[in-house]
């Protein structure tokens, strides 16, 4: 039976969103369905309602993003980062009247179903709207933070991992040339997946993530300085520290530029330590730190093959679910294949975790990557 479906991207952008959109359009077109791309997340429904846009403006044809001229026919969408639909960082409509207008937009577009591509926050918000409006919804997880529960991987994480790993590789040479300690701040919100995985892959000496250290206290900084001193004495004059943005300062609070904060703390404590006459600290005065925040570059770049495959397999599954009229599902990656989880359960779990102020899917402190980092001699702060 022919269907009319919508797709939107919500939350922070990441590589692979366009690959999802393209794959959804391709799979749906094969079935003869119509696909409507809602711009700027659920905000697009508001534009429809206030007359700024019309339903035909939203229609996505299978070939509508092809290039002109001799390059016509090149299907470029899956290679581009960002989202051709735009995205919405703060998706909570807050106001009840606005929520009602959004809900009406879905009905006025006469959609049979909506594919919502988002992280934990967006999935939570959109599922509430879907419940109120009786939308038929299927969700696809995306985020460079990899913190959507029930899925081992979200679209975007792998590309960001490559980006950070490659930055660490590049920074190694300048750090080595100047005998410096380079402190690299990595995104991830409250989760340390990106910092941990990139730190291992990029050859970091120290990885600090919020799941393992509650804050940067005096003991930790002292321990860290001693580690660096020992490294230097062993012949490695430079070091690489990866710190997740979610790591908290000495008073246990999140702060902007935690990497700069750590650099200042290392400078201060290493100076104090080198005033003591213990032989292991005699070299410490020479620690020179430089900190940098990788920032939004981590969300850019052509998606990795892995993310494109994830995008394609997730999109296929989402379209199949709609064909079977099996709604209210999150498409997930588990044990090497695509699976589904009920959005009812996923969202109530996300809500519980958010209420407690806990990341919905943190790094397992006893997991394989933490154990691997330890075995490689990487300092994790504990
Ligand atoms: O959730 C993705 C993410 O990139 C986080 O890693 C980061 O903390 C946040 O979004 C940044 O958000 P914004 O783009 O709104 O500054």
Question: What CATH number should be reported for the domain holding residue 214?
Answer: 3.40.50.460
Which residue out of 189, 194, 294 has the highest number of ligand 1 atoms within 8 Å of its CB and is therefore the one to mutate?
189
Between CA 202 and CA 315 the distance in angstroms is: 31
Structure confidence at residue 113 as a pLDDT band (50, 70, 90) = very high
Q: Of 206, 181, 213, nearest to 376 (Cα)? A: 206
Q: Of 258, 277, 300, which residue sits at a domain end?
A: 300
Query: How would DSSP label each residue in 44-98?
Result: HHHHHHTTSS-GGGGB--TTTT--SGGGTT---GGG--S-TT---SS----SHHH
Asked whether residue 17 falls in the same domain as residue 121, the answer is yes
How many domains does the chain contain in total?
2
Asked whether residue 39 falls in the same domain as residue 151, the answer is yes
Q: Which SS3 state, helix, strand or coil, does residue 301 take?
A: coil
> Could you read off the pLDDT of 209-238 as tens digits, one per residue?
999 999 999 999 999 999 998 898 899 999
Q: From residue 125, how far is each of 10, 118, 132, 276, 347 by CA, in Å?
A: 10, 10, 11, 55, 9
Question: What pLDDT is attached to residue 125?
Answer: 96
Question: Which residues have CB under 6 Å of ligand 1?
Answer: 12, 89, 119, 143-145, 187-189, 245, 299
Residue 129 in any domain: the answer is yes
The protein residue whose alpha carbon is closest to atom 10 in ligand 1 is 12
CATH of the domain at 108: 3.40.50.450
- Give 90 Cα–ligand 1 centroid separation in angstroms: 11
Radius of gyration (Cα) for the chain, nearest Å? 23
Asked whether residue 294 falls in the same domain as residue 225, the answer is yes
Which residue out of 9, 10, 11, 12 has the highest number of ligand 1 atoms within 8 Å of its CB and is therefore the one to mutate?
12
Between CA 74 and CA 379 the distance in angstroms is: 47
Averaged pLDDT score across all residues of the chain = 94
pTM confidence score: 0.96
Q: Which SS3 state, helix, strand or coil, does residue 366 take?
A: coil
Structure confidence at residue 326 as a pLDDT band (50, 70, 90) = very high
Q: Which SS3 state, helix, strand or coil, does residue 40 take?
A: coil
> Could you read off the pLDDT of 49-91 as tens digits, one per residue?
888 888 888 999 877 666 778 787 788 899 999 999 999 877 6
Residue 361 in any domain: the answer is no
Asked whether residue 132 falls in the same domain as residue 205, the answer is no
Pairing of strands 4-9, 113-118: parallel
The protein residue whose alpha carbon is closest to atom 13 in ligand 1 is 12
Residue 121 in any domain: the answer is yes
Query: Which structure tokens are listed for 153?
Result: 């991987």
- Give 302 Cα–ligand 1 centroid separation in angstroms: 18
Between CA 124 and CA 321 the distance in angstroms is: 20
- Give 207 Cα–ligand 1 centroid separation in angstroms: 20
Asked whether residue 308 falls in the same domain as residue 244, the answer is no
Q: Of 334, 338, 297, nearest to 314 (Cα)? A: 338
Cβ proximity of 71 and 25 under 8 Å: no
> Could you read off the pLDDT of 243-266 as tens digits, one per residue?
999 999 999 999 999 999 999 999
- Give 364 Cα–ligand 1 centroid separation in angstroms: 22
Asked whether residue 96 falls in the same domain as residue 187, the answer is no
Asked whether residue 146 falls in the same domain as residue 11, the answer is yes
How does DSSP classify residue 155?
B
The protein residue whose alpha carbon is closest to atom 7 in ligand 1 is 189
Residue 191 in any domain: the answer is yes
Atom in ligand 1 nearest the alpha carbon of residue 89 = 15
Cβ proximity of 263 and 183 under 8 Å: yes
Structure confidence at residue 285 as a pLDDT band (50, 70, 90) = low
Q: Containing domain of residue 226, as a range?
A: 161-300
Q: CA geometry: angle at 340 spanning 196 and 367, to 5°?
A: 25
Residue 264 in any domain: the answer is yes
Asked whether residue 256 falls in the same domain as residue 181, the answer is yes
Query: Which structure tokens are listed for 26?
Result: 């391709």
**Would you name the residues annotated as active-site residues?**
145
Between CA 374 and CA 309 the distance in angstroms is: 31
Asked whether residue 175 falls in the same domain as residue 144, the answer is no
Asked whether residue 9 falls in the same domain as residue 150, the answer is yes
Asked whether residue 200 falls in the same domain as residue 296, the answer is yes
- Give residues with Cβ within 8 angstroms of 219, minimum separation 6: none
Between CA 187 and CA 359 the distance in angstroms is: 14
Sign of CA dihedral 45, 47, 48, 53: negative
Asked whether residue 137 falls in the same domain as residue 205, the answer is no
Atom in ligand 1 nearest the alpha carbon of residue 11 = 1
Residue 373 in any domain: the answer is no
Question: What pLDDT is attached to residue 7?
Answer: 98
For residue 270, pLDDT beyond 70: yes
Residue 170 in any domain: the answer is yes
Question: What pLDDT is attached to residue 332?
Answer: 98
Residue 367 in any domain: the answer is no
Q: CA geometry: angle at 277 spanning 276 and 282, to 5°?
A: 95
Among 133-142, 202-211, 255-264, 273-282, the least confident range: 273-282
């Amino acid at each position: 039976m022919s269907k009319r479906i919508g797709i939107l991207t919500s939350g922070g952008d990441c590589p692979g969103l366009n690959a999802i959109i393209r794959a959804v359009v391709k799979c749906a077109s094969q079935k003869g369905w119509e696909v409507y791309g809602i711009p700027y997340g659920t905000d697009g429904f508001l534009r429809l309602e206030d007359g700024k846009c019309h339903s035909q403006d939203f229609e996505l044809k299978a070939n509508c993003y092809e290039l002109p001229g001799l390059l016509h026919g090149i299907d470029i969408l899956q290679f581009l980062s960002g989202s051709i639909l735009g995205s919405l960082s703060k998706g909570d409509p807050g106001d009840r009247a606005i929520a009602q207008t959004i809900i009406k937009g879905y009905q006025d577009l006469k959609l049979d179903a909506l594919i919502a591509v988002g992280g934990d926050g967006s999935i939570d918000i959109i599922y509430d709207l879907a419940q109120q409006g009786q939308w038929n919804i299927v969700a696809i997880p995306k985020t460079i933070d990899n913190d959507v529960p029930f899925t081992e991987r979200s679209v975007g994480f792998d590309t960001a991992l490559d980006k950070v790993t490659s930055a660490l590789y590049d920074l190694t040479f300048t750090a080595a040339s100047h005998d410096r300690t380079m402190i690299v701040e990595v995104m991830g919100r409250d989760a340390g997946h990106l910092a941990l995985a990139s730190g291992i892959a990029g050859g970091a000496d120290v990885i600090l993530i919020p799941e393992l250290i509650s804050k940067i206290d005096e003991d930790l900084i002292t321990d860290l300085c001693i580690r660096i001193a020992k490294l230097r004495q062993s012949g490695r004059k430079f070091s690489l520290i990866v710190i997740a943005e979610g790591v908290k300062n000495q008073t246990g609070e999140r702060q902007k530029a935690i990497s700069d904060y750590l650099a200042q703390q290392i400078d201060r404590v290493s100076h104090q330590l080198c005033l003591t006459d213990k032989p292991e600290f005699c070299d410490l005065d020479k620690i020179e730190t430089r900190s940098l925040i990788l920032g939004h570059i981590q969300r850019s770049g052509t998606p990795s093959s892995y993310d494109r495959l994830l995008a394609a397999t997730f999109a296929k599954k989402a379209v199949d679910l709609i064909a079977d009229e099996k709604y209210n599902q999150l498409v997930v990656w588990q044990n090497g294949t695509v699976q589904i989880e009920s959005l009812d359960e996923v969202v109530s779990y996300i809500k519980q975790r958010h209420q407690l102020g806990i990341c919905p899917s943190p790094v397992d402190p006893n997991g394989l990557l933490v154990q691997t980092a330890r075995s490689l001699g990487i300092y994790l702060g504990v």
